[in-house]
């Protein structure tokens, strides 16, 4: 850094102190991986670019004075030329190409020391960067150098599901930051852990919605809790805003008034919604503040959920404490894998409808062919021979995308597999494909006590699952595997509820008086029922209740449509819908119980709170809006901080317009 630049930085820092602004730091990234980014010293020169999002930065506007990278080198590298550019963009990924340096600001051009071992490499910028909002673009260049060093000279990093980074390296060709290469680069979600020193120049009103957290497998007719992370990036406290949960098509699923959030604070707002249609949901959350000065950060990234009828079960085999290229190896053109999952690990029988693998990829791998077989055997290991696909049932034949980062990869099986209770055989093939990828695209795995796995890969030939090669690798390791199953001897009841030609949303459909669901916005409902005769009742406020006996056949979809007519009549045997806290079950409980309540009017705000014996509120269980119908909410015995509650007497209070009721609950441990 020149003397002039050093003086300029000093003057700027003094000015910040005079104006009462204090420099702060933000660390972005977990650093759970290592890679040769943002600088690759294994080659003579390298070029790297990535995006850092405003919700990660944590401030709306400000001046960046330094950046720091986290290295773990085996080589001492002193006085290495380094160049850094910064800029902002509205882009959320780099799929379309590099952002050239001509559209950025050069903030550092000098030499940096990179010591061996683990260190924080702090780089004071030659020129302060004035960040005014949006996504921060960071470009880092290792200019052409005469020397190159160990491939183990790496920086700490992590991987996102978004393709937010590009990197290129070369020994003979100079990589031009103003005209980055159109080929020979890597595009993925891997980016370096970074520390940014900044002085915030805040705006008054800016709420952001940075994340939603929810189960990815949800149940029809059951109340699901979705946690929404709200960030207040402004310097004004906020207590008058709305939080919405929506489907990808914009349909409103849930809404609530936002809880008070102080300036600079991050809080979790819980929204409640009831899935009414089986299948896939792409959900996102949004925060709405009338005076919001930055609306670009108001929506969360989407979350993919899949909804099943009540009665389905999900289970996961394995702990996933290791990683490896099983059951699919994308670093070779073809792979074949087989393992055993033991009957005691599954511990049930039923129809397997979906299979789940858990990946941790450094890049997106999209639309790749995959074939899966299932079968059963008395064998307890696979030391000598494969069980060929001819003795198994093909349950998946198609393509699948594997996003970067940690994800649940859900395979819908067709046909489904009727598991009878023996040791389960799982065979997975990556058919021969001309594309190959990084070996660090791995799955979560673990080791078992027995030699339960065989696998093989090839760059030259297709691997035949009907006659697997005699030579293969044997292993104790197997992938963490999830299953979604429905019980045996069950079938589906589906249909619509109408009033004449009008489809009814939120109508109640009950089987045998104890299994309830609600119609979707399209007037449809779905129930999973045991085979046999069932009494089905459909009701809606202001209309006549209709009942029908329906015979369910295992494995078959039975359709029953209802048409509700006229004004509701006084029927002492018909279910009566009113706003009511009906009670909790079980009671006493440990550690979970279910609150049952009903709502008379649509769009009714409902608050359910938990109090201790001294009358002190220990948790707000529900603060949301509900429609007409019967509802259930399951909760664990925890306080607002997520700490376990002590044994004793508690009170559950439901508050709604013109209705309040409190019931006693006993927690026994």
Distance from C-alpha of 299 to C-alpha of 54, rounded to nearest angstrom: 12
The vertex-221 CA angle with 215 and 225, nearest 5°, equals 35
Handedness of CA 342, 346, 352, 356 (dihedral sign): negative
> Could you give phi then psi for residue 313, rounded to 5 degrees?
-125, 150
DSSP 148: -
Q: Give the pLDDT confidence of 266-291 residue by residue, as tens digits.
A: 899 988 888 888 888 889 999 999 98
Distance from C-alpha of 363 to C-alpha of 357, rounded to nearest angstrom: 17
Cα–Cα nearest to 177, from 147, 126, 142: 142
For residue 626 the two structure tokens come to 């509900």
pLDDT at 127: 83
Are the C-beta atoms of residues 482 and 356 closer than 8 Å to each other?
A: yes
Whether the bond between 235 and the residue before it is cis, its omega within 30 degrees of 0, is no
Torsion of CA 469, 471, 475, 480, to 10 degrees: -20
Q: Span 306-330, mean pLDDT?
A: 92
Q: Give the pLDDT confidence of 350-397 residue by residue, as tens digits.
A: 999 999 999 998 888 999 999 999 999 999 999 888 999 999 999 999
Are the C-beta atoms of residues 136 and 86 closer than 8 Å to each other?
A: yes
Distance from C-alpha of 85 to C-alpha of 103, rounded to nearest angstrom: 9
pLDDT grade for 575, boundaries at 50, 70 and 90 = very low
Are the C-beta atoms of residues 209 and 297 closer than 8 Å to each other?
A: yes
Residues 6+ apart with CB under 8 A from 477: 322, 324, 326, 445, 446, 447, 448, 453
pLDDT at 577: 58
Helix (H) or strand (E) holding 57: helix 54-57
Strand pairing category for 303-308 and 217-219 = parallel
Are the C-beta atoms of residues 579 and 656 closer than 8 Å to each other?
A: yes
Are the C-beta atoms of residues 155 and 38 closer than 8 Å to each other?
A: yes
pLDDT grade for 639, boundaries at 50, 70 and 90 = confident
Q: Give the pLDDT confidence of 462-509 residue by residue, as tens digits.
A: 999 999 998 899 999 999 999 999 999 999 999 999 999 889 888 889
Helix (H) or strand (E) holding 56: helix 54-57
% of the chain beyond a pLDDT of 90: 53
Distance from C-alpha of 61 to C-alpha of 24, rounded to nearest angstrom: 13
Q: Give the pLDDT confidence of 36-90 residue by residue, as tens digits.
A: 999 999 999 999 999 999 889 988 788 898 999 999 999 999 999 999 999 999 8
At residue 2, does pLDDT exceed 70?
Answer: no
């Amino acid at each position: 850094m020149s003397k002039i630049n050093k003086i300029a930085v000093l003057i700027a820092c003094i000015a910040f102190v005079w104006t009462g602004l204090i420099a702060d730091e933000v660390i972005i990234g977990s650093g759970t991986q290592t890679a040769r980014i943002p600088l690759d010293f294994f080659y003579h020169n390298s070029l790297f670019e990535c995006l850092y999002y405003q919700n990660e930065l944590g401030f709306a506007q400000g001046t960046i004075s330094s950046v720091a990278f986290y290295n773990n080198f085996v080589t001492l590298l002193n006085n290495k030329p380094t160049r850094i550019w910064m800029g902002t963009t509205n882009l959320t990924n780099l799929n379309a190409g590099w952002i050239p340096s001509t559209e950025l600001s050069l903030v550092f051009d000098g030499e940096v020391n990179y010591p061996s071992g683990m260190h924080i490499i702090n780089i004071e910028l030659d020129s302060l960067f004035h960040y005014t909002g949006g996504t921060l673009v960071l470009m880092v260049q290792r200019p052409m150098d005469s020397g190159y060093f160990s491939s183990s000279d790496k920086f700490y990093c992590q991987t996102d599901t978004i393709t937010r980074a590009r990197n290129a390296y070369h020994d003979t060709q100079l990589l031009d930051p103003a005209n980055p290469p159109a080929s020979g680069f890597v595009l993925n979600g891997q980016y370096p852990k970074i520390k940014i020193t900044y002085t915030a120049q805040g705006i008054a009103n800016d709420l952001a919605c940075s994340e939603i957290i929810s189960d990815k497998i949800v149940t029809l007719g059951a109340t699901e809790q979705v946690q929404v992370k709200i960030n207040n990036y402004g310097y004004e406290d906020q207590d008058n805003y709305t939080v919405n949960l929506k489907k990808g098509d914009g349909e409103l699923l849930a809404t609530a008034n936002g809880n008070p959030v102080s300036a600079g604070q991050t809080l979790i707002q819980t929204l409640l919604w009831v899935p009414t249609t089986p299948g896939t949901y792409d959900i996102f959350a949004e925060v709405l503040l009338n005076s919001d000065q930055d609306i670009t950060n108001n929506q969360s990234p989407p979350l993919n959920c899949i909804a099943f009828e009540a009665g389905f079960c999900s289970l996961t085999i394995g702990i996933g404490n290791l990683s490896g290229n099983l059951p699919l190896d994308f670093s070779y053109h073809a792979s074949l894998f087989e393992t055993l999952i033991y009957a005691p690990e599954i511990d049930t029988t039923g129809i397997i409808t979906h299979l789940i693998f858990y990946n941790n990829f450094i890049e997106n791998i999209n639309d790749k062919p995959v074939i899966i077989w299932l079968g059963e055997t008395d064998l307890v290991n696979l030391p000598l021979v494969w069980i060929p696909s001819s003795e198994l049932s093909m349950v998946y034949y198609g393509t699948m995308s594997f996003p970067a980062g940690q994800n649940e990869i859900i395979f819908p099986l067709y046909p489904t597999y009727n598991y009878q209770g023996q040791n389960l055989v799982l065979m997975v093939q990556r058919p021969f494909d001309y594309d190959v990828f990084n070996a660090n695209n791995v799955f979560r795995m673990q080791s078992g006590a027995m030699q339960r796995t065989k696998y093989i890969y090839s760059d030259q030939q297709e691997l035949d699952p009907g006659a697997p090669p005699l030579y293969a690798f044997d292993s104790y390791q197997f992938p963490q595997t999830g299953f979604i199953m429905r019980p045996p001897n069950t079938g589906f009841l589906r249909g619509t509820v109408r009033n004449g030609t009008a489809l009814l949303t939120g109508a109640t459909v009950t089987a045998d008086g104890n299994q309830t669901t609600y119609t979707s916005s399209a007037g449809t409902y779905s129930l999973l029922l045991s085979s046999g005769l069932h009494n089905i009742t459909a009701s809606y406020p202001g209309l006549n209740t209709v009942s029908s006996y329906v015979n369910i056949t295992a494995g078959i979809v039975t359709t029953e449509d209802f048409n509700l007519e006229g004004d509701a009549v006084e029927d002492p045997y018909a279910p009566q819908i009113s706003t009511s806290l009906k009670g909790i079950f079980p009671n006493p409980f440990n550690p979970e119980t279910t609150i049952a309540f009903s709502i008379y009017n649509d769009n009714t705000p409902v608050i359910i709170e938990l109090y201790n014996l001294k009358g002190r509120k220990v948790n707000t269980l529900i603060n949301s809006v509900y429609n007409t119908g019967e509802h259930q909410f399951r909760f664990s015995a925890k306080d607002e901080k997520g700490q376990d509650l002590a044994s004793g007497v508690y009170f559950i209070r439901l508050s709604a317009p013109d209705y309040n009721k409190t019931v006693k609950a006993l927690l026994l441990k």
